Amino acid sequence: MRPALYQHWKKIFHPTSINCLSSSRPVPSVQNSSGFLKAAVSREQNRHMASMAPLERKVSKVTQHLIYHQYHPEETERGKTPIVLFLPWITVTGKSARRFEDVYAHRGFNVLTVWNEVKYFVWPKSAFSLSKEVLEYLQAEVDCDLVVHGMSIGAYLYTMIVMAALQNPQHTSYLRDHVKGNIFDSIVCGGVKQMALGVSKTVANNVALEKLIQGTILTYFNLTKSHTVDLYNDAIQLFYDNPFLTSSLLLYSTVDRMSDPKTVESIARAWEDRGIQVMLQKWTDSKHVELMKDHTVEYIECLDEYLAYIKMGNRVHSPLMAKL
């Protein structure tokens, strides 16, 4: 039986029958609850905080952009330790990245983090060199199950990795055989105008500057259409196609200026129509890539449910967690 906090965590179904987890469900008010409920909520929050506590790890800089975090032996009596291919947002700090890396470490994963740069987004062709770098390393050094966690532009970068893989039969087979699930958080989507609007609203602190930045971005896209917009459209179509038919968890917010919720739900419907298992988690109050920060307990519970569904990872209980 779940703790009291999660009695309201129910799977619901959209009219399209997509499996959906929605934070619109009522959450008990701790202020108006009994002491037992307060204790249950506090205990569950502490448990999730403990599941994010830093663990010892060996950090290996594979290349300028690839950092391998080994928390566990690469092979145990249970088999090969799975890896999370973590592709965070462009402005992520090491501290923020570690928050996610440690969550996965507590679930029995090692983590390969791919550090992104603005140039890979504003000039998509440059992303192919990094994509090939990732694929060559995975093919040569990683022979275990993978879970992909892409955030913001990281989801776009993973799409470029898939695009590069499809040009090489060995890389195609590798991803098809090894990637067991996708987790996409705050994907940048909704078309070029939406992206330009989102970037301008994120960067600017007044309406005049916002319009100037948006106009500059749209002008740049118009001048470089064959090198930018056309490739974005190809990437978006490939994301819709999901060529490996991998099940996915989509995490999003209806007020995210860089991620159009209708597009996210359209992607989910397209996948579901093809028989691909897709789960959604929607929030209504978080800015871009701030879902984990704003809704830590729900976010981690959602990850756990999805990982359990794809039968990946195992909870590694630290001494601190055991006391909880």
pLDDT the model gives residue 122: 84
Query: Which CATH number covers residue 270?
Result: 3.40.50.1820
Report which of residues 235 and 35 the model is more confident about: 235
Report which of residues 27 and 291 the model is more confident about: 291
Report the C-alpha gap between 223 and 158 in whole angstroms: 26
Of 109, 120, 133, 128, give the one whose Cα is nearest residue 310. 109
Whether residue 304 is predicted with pLDDT greater than 70 in this model: the reply is yes
Helices marked H in 106-152 — which ranges?
119-122, 127-141
Q: Would you say how long the chain is, in residues?
A: 324
Report the C-alpha gap between 147 and 187 in whole angstroms: 17
Is residue 316 in some structural domain?
yes
Range(s) of the domain holding residue 25 = 4-190+246-323
Report the C-alpha gap between 58 and 280 in whole angstroms: 33
What's the CA dihedral at 74, 76, 79, 80 to 10 degrees? 0
Tell me 271's DSSP state.
H
Is residue 223 in some structural domain?
no
pLDDT band at 23 (very low <50, low <70, confident <90, very high): very low
The total domain count for the chain is: 1
pLDDT the model gives residue 3: 31
Is residue 142 in some structural domain?
yes
Is residue 153 in some structural domain?
yes
Cα–Cα distances (Å) from 170 to 167, 229, 250, 287, in that order, read 9, 29, 28, 39
Say if residues 116 and 157 touch (Cβ distance below 8 Å).
yes
- The CA R_g of the chain, rounded to the nearest whole Å, is 20
Is residue 206 in some structural domain?
no
Is residue 47 in some structural domain?
yes
Give strand pairing partners of 75: 80
Report which of residues 316 and 156 the model is more confident about: 156
Is residue 241 in some structural domain?
no
The amino acid occupying position 44 is E
Whether residue 163 is predicted with pLDDT greater than 70 in this model: the reply is yes
pLDDT the model gives residue 4: 30
Q: For 213-258, what is each residue's pLDDT tens digit?
A: 889 989 999 999 999 999 989 999 999 999 999 999 999 999 998 8
Is residue 304 in some structural domain?
yes
Q: What percent of the chain has pLDDT over 90?
A: 64
pLDDT band at 201 (very low <50, low <70, confident <90, very high): confident
Tell me 7's DSSP state.
G
Report which of residues 214 and 315 the model is more confident about: 214
